Chain A
Amino acid sequence: MTKDSKKKAGAAQDYGCPYASRRDLLFGLAGAGGAFALRSGGAFAKDAPVSEPQKKTERADETSGRQVADAPSGSGNTRDRVPFYGEHQAGVITPRPATGIVASFDVVARDPEDLEQMFRKLTDRIAFLTQGGKVPQLDPKLPPADSGVLGPVIEPDNLTITVGLGNSLFENRPWLKPHKPKQLVRMPEFPNDALDADRSHGDLSLQFSANLLDTNIHALRDIVKNLPEFLVMRWMQEGDVPVIPPKPDGKTESARNFLGFHDGSANPDSNDAELMEEVIWVDEKDDEPEWAYGGTYQAVRIIRNFVERWDRTPLREQERIIGRKKNNGAPLDGGDRESEVPDYAADPDGKLTPLDAHIRLANPRTEKTRENLMLRRPFNYSNGVTKSGQLDQGLLFIAYQADLDKGFVTVQRRLDGEPLEEYIKPVGGGFFYVLPGVPEPGDYLGRSLIEAASKTSDDKPT
């Protein structure tokens, strides 16, 4: 620990700021006070030492000490399996593997029975695809049951498929509308946005992530093939993040995005189950319909980066725009590690970290702005070339939070007009509500919603 960061951690505690560095606390200041700070305060991803005993959650992978936005270690194996059954869907607080896809669909379902059938089929496919197994062999005169992209035996390859529902699914169906999650809206157009209708919104989102891109592609094709009567594809975006083996001391770093900066450094600690309950998972504390407990809001943004222009920008300016150092991800007010915590109180005029730096606007780290936390799980994308002959690259931004207004929407409103906007252009995405998990075999995704909806349609006077 550097002298500097110790000072900061101390200072943070002095005025009750919850953003004390968890690592600093554990390494130096741990004790009753430290433990308290941990519970009530914000514990951030990079602050969690790998050695800390982890809280038990249902999924083994979530106790591995890896953070959601850590660079995948490259030790990934096609046999890696993320359990499907659980209180929450996988793929939200699950450490991000190397590749991801977000696909958006329109749903054809006229009544609760149709929708239930769709959810059951989707559940079957996801359970199979994420756990793996043999592909059934059919009469060779028939089209094969499976695309064959992964061969005759499907290896799970760390695959998760996370299902979210969009505003239009509810709005266009009177029997579903009363059950819409309170904050679910069609994603508004923010001032810097230039939304492309062909890459925006949708009734249902599927987030695929796996070690290998082909595993995602295989799963997507399987679902398209098996649910044609229910799902019409609108758009999809692929992405990936660089694989970086852990350092000799076991430490992992956040992956870098296409602006060349570490991305995910200040994510909330996804191994802190209580923190995840608070920040990510919807439950009694939230003003939401009961069926939605165990779910979360997903904000997807396809954000183009003007990389040629960025690469022609002086380094110092790049760092002041982001608010972190490019080579190591450390904050601008000291330290040399991305885990260091900036002390904005000591820099009220923005001499070290400009007041309009991306990270300072996104998270001013005050007592009040603690309620605006979210978990970011992005991928980088590269889509070829634009008409003007520039690279079409950017960030497939994906964020999860229990409160969409306080999370993504508030943070984006604070970021509106930030200097980074010169270099980025959001062109697509959507807001979705991630369904609660499937607790056990026999159950299905969306059951609580279907039960709620069937009740209303039965109650209706005929």
Chain B
Amino acid sequence: MSLTRILCALTFALLLGAGGAQAQSNQASLELVEPLAEYKLYVAEHTASLVEDTKEFVGAIKDGDVEKAKSLFAPTRRNYEKIEPIAELFADLDVSMDSRADDYEKGEADPNFGGFHRIEYVLWEKNTTEGLDKYADKLLADVIELDSRVSELTFPPEIVVGGAAVLMEEVAATKISGEEDRYSRTDLWDFEANFDGSRKIFELFKPLIDDEAFIAKVESNFADVYEVLADYQTEDGGFVSYEKLTDMDRRVLSAKVNTLAEELSTLRGRLGLG
């Protein structure tokens, strides 16, 4: 997808008032066009790698190669976790790909519980790929659907900008405790991807914000979370098990994530996106 194409489409959408920018002067809206377009490229890049990586992951499952499938689980998800800030733009796919057993009254016993976490559950808890074929096929279909939707998707600025904070809210509310990847304990991979995704948005819109103290604070909080995570990184760029995370570090992460959520919650307002 070319940058110019996206830029034209976005400018058009903004000028028409699509995406909730009505209240803004066109001048302010236009300023948002470039970072939004950049962000769309970022998303498209990651959905494209998501498709590639998922193909390999699904291949391993179909080959019955449990160990290979396990090793590909976290790196594959990582692509998705990076674009999670805007998951509400494709909520149906998010539910299908990334819901958790708790989202179903019957938990793991519910056949509708599918997606990444169903596969994770079977790989780690049952140590097999048996019975996973239909879930793997569905995952791949969803991923391909997501990738094809992205190019046509309107990116409302308040959703993108708001997404940076929303993801921190999610981490604070249901991830920091290690609920997300409870079978594989690969939560730290997700954390990093979530921070990356949220920081990307902040970095893109930062030039439009006229408050150095605020910027410095957000940057230092991001730096702090990466510093904590660095202690858990493995040589191949992955992460050790969530169980290795000390209470003290979990507390620091939790405090920083909440602080980031608090700070980033002002981002929309600061950009005039009420």
Contact = CB atoms under 8 A, between A and B. Distances in A.
A and B physically associate: yes
Interface stretch (B50-58, B124-132, B255-263): B255-263
A53 interface: no
Nearest to B217: A229
B254 A232 contact: yes
A230 to B, nearest CB: 7
| A106, A108, A143: residue with the most chain B Cβ atoms closer than 10 Å | A108
B269 A143 contact: yes
A32 interface: no
B265 interface: yes
A228 B265 contact: no
Interface residues of B, number: 19
Contacts of B259: 228-229
B274 A141 contact: yes
B15 to A, nearest CB: 21
B32 to A, nearest CB: 14
B251 A232 contact: yes
B255 A232 contact: yes
Contact of B251 (A106, A140, A141): A106
Nearest to B176: A232
A228 B252 contact: no
A10 B39 CA distance: 86
A43 B251 CA distance: 45
The prevalent SS among residues of A at the interface is loop
A52 interface: no
Interface string A214-242: 00000000000100111110000000000
Which of A141, A228, A231 is most buried by chain B, counting CB atoms within 10 A of its CB?
A: A228
Nearest to A142: B269
B252 A108 contact: yes
Nearest to B267: A142
B206 interface: no
Contacts of B20: none
A172 B248 CA distance: 9
Interface string B233-274: 000000000000000100110111011011001101110111
Interface string A225-264: 1001111100000000000000000000000000000000
Interface in A123-145: 139-143
A143 B169 CA distance: 14
Interface string A98-128: 0000000010100000000000000000000
Nearest to A139: B269
B258 A228 contact: yes
Contacts of A225: 262
A232 B256 CA distance: 10
Contacts of A231: 255
A351 B270 CA distance: 75
B258 to A, nearest CB: 4
A230 B262 CA distance: 13
A275 to B, nearest CB: 40
Contacts of A172: 248
Which 4 pairs show the lowest CB-CB distances between chains A and B?
A: A141-B269, A142-B269, A228-B258, A141-B274
Interface of B: 221, 248, 251-252, 254-256, 258-259, 261-262, 265-266, 268-270, 272-274
Interface of A: 106, 108, 139-143, 172, 225, 228-232
